[in-house]
Amino acid sequence: MTFGDEWEQLVSTARQRQSARMRLNQLEPGPGATSGEAGTDLVVTQDDLGAVGHEAFLLHGELHKKVDIVGAGADRNGEGSTARAARELADRNLAMGGELYTTLSVWDSQVKTVLQMCAHISNHLDYSKKLHANDDAAIAAAVRGREGAAMPVSEISRYVR
């Protein structure tokens, strides 16, 4: 049997097994949910955001200290020990010197990317937390009357419609 024949047989078998109804790809309902119910929405508290942002900040600091092999063992010229080793190997006409330089530059690029992502996560979560706190304060101010008393429900329901 040729590849084309086998492929045709597999395609026709797959077509026979398919039903005529439409199938949507979606997340299965969680425990306690009915088949038509997608479950509950994602809920994130300020404490959750703060914890994630704090962990990203800590990870950034630890990575910055521990994974810098480019600057590790730097001499007076600022050249790290790995870069000096790569230069020494290249000066002795060993191909490994160039490869070590390549490894060093790829490593440095990837470390910088991870550091940027940690900083981005930490900063974004801090920004989001402050932004939502400001939004909450603005909404609270908007639903108060001129004298500072809570706005009546009938007035609030006008905004919701």
Is residue 151 predicted with pLDDT exceeding 80? no
Residue 27, pLDDT score: 61
Above 70 in pLDDT, residue 138?
A: yes
Average pLDDT taken over every residue of the chain: 79
Distance CA(31)–CA(10), nearest Å, equals 37
Any idea which of 50-59, 84-93, 117-126, 142-151 has the lowest mean pLDDT? Answer: 142-151
Quickly list H helices, 33-94. 46-66, 81-91
Q: Which of 136, 155, 135, 137 is CA-nearest to residue 145?
A: 155
What's the whole-model pTM score?
0.52
pLDDT of residue 91 exceeding 70, the answer is: yes
The pLDDT assigned to 70 comes to 76
Helix (H) or strand (E) holding 16: helix 3-17
More confident residue, 4 or 150: 4
Sign of CA dihedral 33, 35, 37, 40: positive
- The per-residue pLDDT for 81 is 87
Residue from 117, 109, 113, 116 nearest 69 by CA: 109
| Size of the chain in residues | 161
